[in-house]
Amino acid sequence: MTLQATAREEARTSAILTALADGERPNPPGPLSTSLAFGWRALLKIKHVPEQLFDVTVFPIMFTLLFTFLFGGALAGSTVDYIQFLLPGILVQGVIMITMYTGTTLRTDIEKGVFDRFRSLPIWRPSALVGMLLGDAVRFTISSIVTITLGLILGWRPEGGVAGVALGVLLILLFAFSLGWVWTFLSLILRTSGSVMGVSMIVITPLTFGSNIFVDPSTMPGWLQAFVEVNPVTQLVTSVRELMGGLPLGPSFMLTIAWSAGLIIVFGSLTMWRYRDAR
């Protein structure tokens, strides 16, 4: 290297050091801002791959139409009468069924090495996971809006009004957020996105179909009633029906809150413990 080149390099280095010394160091981002940034990342992925909205638009319509016209006449005498009972339950099922994609998406990012970079950033460690779940909350909201709109077209008339419907949706989103931590933990201990989806379906299927979404549990055999009564999805559906139907809240509401808090505490902690060493 010539003397002139060396001088230019030293001058450039000196200018950089001077700029760094004179400027004010920006404040580090807080937990909220980093979580929102990762939530926005999740939404941008939907923007570039809009096919991801297929499950939150087509599935709710398919489930609502299928179960309304398949069981409505047989169970309630008419589809209009049955939709009054079914809609809050199918709203819950539609959201819970798509929560498993939280785990498969995370597993895909891990396989691509994206989360190795996230763990190396000087940010609040859970923000990447929390942001992802917040982004999914937008997808769940879209699913709820689609189902509610279709229900209104089919004759559903919630006695709880707009406030009751909004509170019911918020309760569903809270439970979905807490359930998402189960799938994030699974994505950190299972090795492929396919296995995450498979295990998730094994868990979700009995929780949704072994509940009070479609029929009154009083018609079920005793052993099945015992399972349905302790099923957290049953507590959630009962609470949503009470809120949207303008009925007094029973013990199911507090049980749903307790289930949500328990899932976040247990699986949120397990997820963060595993997240530190995930590959």
The model's pLDDT over 29-40, given as tens digits with 9 standing for 90+, comes to 778 888 888 888
Residue 37 exposed, middle or buried by CB count within 10 Å (0-12, 13-18, 19+): middle
For the chain, the distance separating the N- and C-terminal CA atoms, rounded to the nearest angstrom, is 43
DSSP 26: P
> How confident is residue 114, by pLDDT bands cut at 50, 70 and 90?
confident
Q: Dihedral of the CA atoms 154, 94, 233, 265 (nearest 10)?
A: -140
| Cα distance between residue 103 and residue 107, in whole Å | 6
Q: Kindly state whether residue 11 falls inside one of the protein's structural domains.
A: no
| Cα distance between residue 156 and residue 119, in whole Å | 47
Q: With pLDDT > 90 as the criterion, what percentage of the chain qualifies?
A: 40
| Cα distance between residue 10 and residue 29, in whole Å | 33
Q: Kindly state whether residue 24 falls inside one of the protein's structural domains.
A: no
Q: Kindly state whether residue 156 falls inside one of the protein's structural domains.
A: yes
Mean pLDDT of 125-149: 88
Output the pTM of the full model.
0.84
| Cα distance between residue 205 and residue 77, in whole Å | 27
Mean pLDDT of 142-155: 92
Q: Is residue 66 classed as helix, strand or coil in its secondary structure?
A: helix
* Tokens 């003397």, located at residue: 3
- Tens of pLDDT, residues 6-45: 767 777 777 766 666 655 666 777 788 888 888 888 888 7
Q: Are 72 and 83 in contact (CB under 8 A)?
A: yes
Q: Kindly state whether residue 169 falls inside one of the protein's structural domains.
A: yes
Q: Kindly state whether residue 107 falls inside one of the protein's structural domains.
A: yes
54 or 194, which is more confident?
194
| Cα distance between residue 103 and residue 35, in whole Å | 17
Q: Kindly state whether residue 245 falls inside one of the protein's structural domains.
A: yes
Mean pLDDT of 186-204: 89
Q: Kindly state whether residue 19 falls inside one of the protein's structural domains.
A: no
Structural domains of the chain, count: 1
DSSP string across 133-188: HHHHHHHHHHHHHHHHHHHHHHT---TTHHHHHHHHHHHHHHHHHHHHHHHHHHHH
Q: Kindly state whether residue 100 falls inside one of the protein's structural domains.
A: yes
Q: Are 52 and 46 in contact (CB under 8 A)?
A: yes
Range of the domain at 163: 29-275
Q: Are 114 and 41 in contact (CB under 8 A)?
A: no
- Tens of pLDDT, residues 216-261: 888 888 899 999 999 999 999 999 999 999 999 999 999 999 999 9
